[in-house]
Structure 1
Amino acid sequence: MPMRLLLSGFAAGLLAVPTFHQLAIWALYNAGLVMNPPFSMRPVEPFGLPRLLWISFWGGVWGMLVALILLARPRLSTMVAAVTVGLLGAATISMTLAPALRGLPMPILDPSRWWRPFLVNGIWGFGTGLILATLRGRMR
């Protein structure tokens, strides 16, 4: 059961990127609130993978973290765990470590930019929670 939950967490996080995360970016991009377009297939370092695949992979890794939390706290709501990981984990890393590794300025230094990562990663967490809850329902 734990391995199935971990794989389901990975699948949920991976699928939530194109369906929730990128659709949120699409809406923000079309509203003129973000500069980078969604569904980018531009290669990213270090492996030259298309950006959408790269961030989908990391969405899956974050989904596995949600699954690990649920294994440790089985009574915790799937939605609460997923949204919390999106808001606190993924958003914080996207504002600090990710840009630092790429040599880019960190949005954490500019409070007027904080809302974007929290909104987009919170929506990713919501999507991950919905997908994972559905998969967990089928696992039982």
Structure 2
Amino acid sequence: MIWLKAFVAGFLSTLIFHQGLFALLHLGGMTPVPAYNMTPVPPLGVPSVVSISFFGGLWAMALWLVVGRLPSARYWLGHIVLGALAPTAVAMLLVFPLKGLDVSAQTWIGGFLLNGAWGLGVAVIMRILGGTRPATGSY
């Protein structure tokens, strides 16, 4: 059940925190494209924002595995820092080059900001969903 909660937290965090910050950055003229992109993406033709939210859910499961048990301040900081670093590195070093997209200092900084906000969102939503791990036990 905890993994479903983590997936839901990542999915929702993408829609609320990641895309919310993206919308604010767009309104401030810092990004050329708006948030909540509804353009269909292959192979299933789902809207881009649904696709990125799905992957946000998968990333959240990995994030929870690594930092979900950390106590107090390290819980929050771990979600923000690892949430900012890991997805951004994969996007900039793997996904962008595969899609032929430019990688620049601006895209790295934007990735760190958006994914850090996403990581914070995962932490918040997991707390709301009651996502806690028992001190002992296996999954």
TM-score bin, normalised by smaller chain: 0.7 to 0.9
- 2:18 matches 1:21: yes
**Higher helix fraction: Structure 1 or Structure 2?**
1
* Inter-CA distance 100–47: structure 2 relative to 1 (3 Å threshold): farther
* Inter-CA distance 94–84: structure 2 relative to 1 (3 Å threshold): same
| Counterpart for residue 110 of structure 2 | 116
- 2:132 matches 1:135: no
**Where does 1:24-103 land on structure 2 (aligned, <5 Å)?**
24-70=21-67, 74-76=69-71, 77-103=74-100
Report the TM-score, using the length of structure 1 for normalisation: 0.83
How far, CA to CA, are the matches of 2:82 and 2:42 in structure 1? Answer: 25
Contact 2:63–2:83, Cα closer than 8 Å, also in 1: no
Report the TM-score, using the length of structure 2 for normalisation: 0.84
User: Please, what is the CA RMSD of the aligned residues?
Assistant: 2.0
* Inter-CA distance 92–125: structure 2 relative to 1 (3 Å threshold): same
Letter in 2 for 1:97: L
Structure 1 residue 111, shift from structure 2 partner = 2.2
Poorly superposed stretches of 4+, deviation over 4 Å? 137-140
Contact 1:17–1:59, Cα closer than 8 Å, also in 2: yes
What is the total number of aligned residue pairs between the two structures? Answer: 132
Q: Percent identity?
A: 33
Letter in 1 for 2:78: A
1:84-105 deviation line (CA, Å, top 9, x unaligned): 3311111112222111221222
1:8-52 deviation line (CA, Å, top 9, x unaligned): 111100000111101101000011100111011101233322101
Unaligned runs of 5+ in 1: none
Unaligned runs of 5+ in 2: 135-139
